[in-house]
Amino acid sequence: MTPSTDSATNILYYVFDPLCGWCYAAMPALAAVKDLPGIHIELLPAGLFTGTGARLMDDTFAAYAWSNDQRIQRLTGQRFTPAYRDQVLANRVQPFDSGAATVALTAVALTAPSRQLDALAAIQQARYVDGRDVTSTETLGKVLAAEGLDAAASALSAPGRDLAAATRERMQRAQQFMRQFGVRGVPALIVDSGNHLSLVDHSSSYGNPSALIGLLNAV
């Protein structure tokens, strides 16, 4: 894919879940390409850990998550702190549910669309580094406000039908892409070059974020 002068032509769809550790792992690669000319990144939350995909945290799942997180940290350098382990994974009241964070990111998409990656990074930082409860609407509102996303924080505090409908529509689009390409998990990167959709095998970019640039140019 050769980047065109029309940034709307080449769209990189990022299918993700805000509580997905490997989606956190992919952030350095996305940061490497987000300002490239001719590429527009569009975030599509899959809703993987919402609704029936949500669950309570238990010892077995917490141990699995922490082991996986340590692998991600070794591979990418993304931090998973003791605060996250002790205040999130060890919490048996806080659910593993990305519903509120998904709505929060949709609020950003509606009010400050160019800041979506910033908002996602801030939510991930709050969870994995600061050990905060990003399943809480109150916490998410504070995270958004700290990023200067006051309109999104306000929308999140009193969500209406438009926000709910937009959240559903984004998840449906993500799930449609997953079905189309036979993708079972996230993250997934799909490039629309104007007349062709391609699934990008971005696995090499976890340890080498700039590799994603070459992968996109090869599509």
Residue 132: give its domain's CATH number: 3.40.30.10
Chain position carrying tokens 């990305």:
98
- How does pLDDT run across 186-210, given as a tens digit for each residue? 999 999 988 899 999 999 999 999 9
3-state DSSP assignment of residue 209: coil
3-state DSSP assignment of residue 157: helix
Locate 149 and state its tokens: 């996303």
Residue range of the domain that includes 212 = 11-218
3-state DSSP assignment of residue 156: helix
Chain position carrying tokens 């999130």:
88
- pLDDT score of 194: 87
In a domain, residue 6? The reply is no
Locate 171 and state its tokens: 């998840």
In a domain, residue 49? The reply is yes
In a domain, residue 129? The reply is yes
In a domain, residue 1? The reply is no
Query: Residue 171: what residue type?
Result: M
In a domain, residue 144? The reply is yes
> For residues 164 and 175, what is the distance between their CA atoms, to the nearest angstrom?
17
Whether the pLDDT of residue 4 is over 80: the answer is no
In a domain, residue 72? The reply is yes
Contact (CB, 8 A) for 123 and 130? no
Locate 100 and state its tokens: 């509120």
Whole-prediction pTM: 0.94
> For residues 112 and 156, what is the distance between their CA atoms, to the nearest angstrom?
13
> For residues 93 and 80, what is the distance between their CA atoms, to the nearest angstrom?
20
Band the pLDDT of 9: cuts 50, 70, 90. Answer: low
Locate 33 and state its tokens: 């390409």
Number of domains in the chain: 1
Locate 37 and state its tokens: 């000319």
- pLDDT score of 218: 81
Contact (CB, 8 A) for 78 and 24? yes
In a domain, residue 26? The reply is yes
